Structure 1
Amino acid sequence: MNWWVKPAVAALFCGVLWVLFQEGLALERKIVATAAIAAYALILLRYNKACLGEAEGESGAGVDYLVAYATETGTARQIARQTCKTIRENGLRASLVELNRLVSSPRPSKGLLVIASTTGNGDAPRTGDAWQEEGGSFLRNFASCSYAVLALGDRSYSNFCGFGLQVAAELQQAGAVPLFEPVLVHQGDPASVNYWFRQLSRSAVPARR
Structure 2
Amino acid sequence: MTGQPPDDTGEQALQDSSDLMPPAFWAFHELYHQAYFEYAFVQLGNQIAADRLVNQTFVFLAVIWRDVTTQEKPEAFAWTLLKERVAAELEAQGRPAAALETLAFERAIRAACDPILDSFRDEFRAQVTELEDSMGLYAAMARLPERQFDVMVLQFALGFPTKKTALIMGVCEATVRSTRRAAKRRLAADVGLELGEDTDDEE
**Which bin holds the TM-score, normalised by the shorter protein?**
under 0.3
Q: Which has the higher contact order (CA 8 A, sep 6+)?
A: 2
Larger Rg: 1
Structure holding more strand per residue: 1
